[in-house]
Copies of this chain bind each other. A is one copy, B any other.
């Protein structure tokens, strides 16, 4: 029995999120991948994801693993699975990993990107991949706010209020804003993220950019631990899971 790790890219637009919703008939990334794998390996192969992504959320580097008795050489997996998958999901890499590798529990860090499209008129090619912001933004103030999210904080105020989680402390290793013409990309790396956390941090940054909060207020907002004090939850289509990192050490120091 081999443990196989796959790195996936997918366009989440037409999926009801990553996680299989058994018995619902809803199309999910996990369900579609499991179906392709069962055809390929002739085994029922439950797939373990690094975490869920919501409906409409995209990935460039989602990681999953599964166990298989298949004798297909691991380097042949990407092309073989891709030929059975719709073009909206692509296996970028496959590798054999130790038996105790678990896509979720072994993950050390994740990096997400949220994309804003900032222009009076929206670009139709970005409608499923960015959030349209038609007003001017103060990028310098937003970048200042990004810095204040770095480090170890209690993110209770930056999490969907209906969560069952008990521990709200997470470490943000990197948080920055990059502008390229009309696209503004906010990229954040952390040891884990609460439900809707990236989308709420993004919504708060957006409000900073619109002058609704000064950047310095971020520290106070974190201390408040109240969902309603933070910004809006940005819509799913601008969010993309860029990578999942399994290395023990983070190459850069925090802050």
Contacts and interface: CB of A to CB of B under 8 A. Distances in A.
B10 A88 contact: no
Interface in A86-112: 87-92
A125 B82 contact: no
A223 interface: no
Interface residues of A, number: 20
Please report whether the interface of chain A is mostly helix, strand, loop or mixed according to DSSP. mixed
Contacts of A124: 9-11, 87-90
Nearest to A82: B121
Contact of A129 (B58, B90, B125): B125
Nearest to A134: B79
A78 interface: yes
A197 interface: no
Contact of A125 (B58, B91, B92, B123): B58
Contacts of A122: 82, 87, 90
A82 B127 CA distance: 13
A122 B91 CA distance: 9
Contacts of A125: 9, 11, 58, 129
A124 B78 CA distance: 14
Interface string A59-98: 0000000000000000000110010000111111000000
A121 B58 CA distance: 17
Interface in A3-44: 9-11
Nearest to A10: B124
Nearest to A127: B87
A24 to B, nearest CB: 23
A127 B11 CA distance: 10
11 contacts: A9-B123, A10-B124, A11-B124, A11-B127, A87-B127, A88-B124, A88-B127, A90-B121, A90-B122, A90-B124, A92-B121
